[in-house]
């Protein structure tokens, strides 16, 4: 079904995703325990901002210093940070578009993520409430 190398890649991503998801749950909970009476989703914001910082740091190290290879990239960037927050990937991809002077595509991506994402949540929520 999968080539042998793909199975090891899937395993790396899965292990990283496991750790990232647990980390997201833990960090978000810590933030809400520190500031319990705030109705703003500060835990989610903290996770997203930290994830964006870390993915930016790792890509910066990878691009300038060839800091890690493909296996580590799969484990950390796709696995851990993918499980931690996909918002970090969105942030990096938008920065890459801006860096490549693809301003129209960058703005279009941001708008599409916001409009389509919020719209999909609304449609899903509406469908979930039917009947």
CA 103/CA 109 separation, integer angstroms: 10
> % helix / strand / coil in the chain, to the nearest 5?
85, 0, 15
Chain position carrying tokens 């790396």:
12
pLDDT at 2 over 70: no
State the pLDDT at residue 121: 82
Give the tens place of pLDDT for each residue, 66-94: 778 888 888 998 899 889 987 888 888 89
The rounded mean pLDDT for the chain is: 88
- Sheet strands (E) in the chain: none
Domain edges within the chain: 4-85
CA 2/CA 59 separation, integer angstroms: 28
Record the pTM. Answer: 0.76
Give the tens place of pLDDT for each residue, 34-46: 998 887 888 888 9
Give the tens place of pLDDT for each residue, 4-58: 788 899 999 999 999 999 999 999 999 999 998 887 888 888 998 998 898 888 8
- As a whole number, mean pLDDT of residues 102-113 equals 93
Structure-block tokens of residue 111: 């708008």
């Amino acid at each position: 079904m999968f080539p042998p190398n793909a199975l090891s890649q899937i395993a790396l991503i899965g292990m990283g995703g496991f750790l990232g998801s647990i980390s997201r749950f833990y960090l978000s909970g810590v933030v809400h325990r520190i500031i319990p009476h705030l109705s703003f989703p500060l835990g989610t914001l903290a996770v997203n901002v930290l994830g964006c910082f870390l993915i930016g740091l790792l890509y910066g190290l990878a691009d300038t210093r060839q800091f890690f290879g493909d296996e580590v990239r799969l484990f950390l960037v796709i696995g851990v940070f993918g499980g931690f927050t996909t918002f970090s990937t969105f942030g990096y991809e938008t920065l890459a578009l801006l860096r490549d002077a693809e301003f129209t595509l960058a703005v279009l991506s941001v708008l599409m993520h916001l409009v389509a994402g919020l719209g999909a949540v609304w449609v899903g929520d509406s469908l979930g409430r039917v009947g």
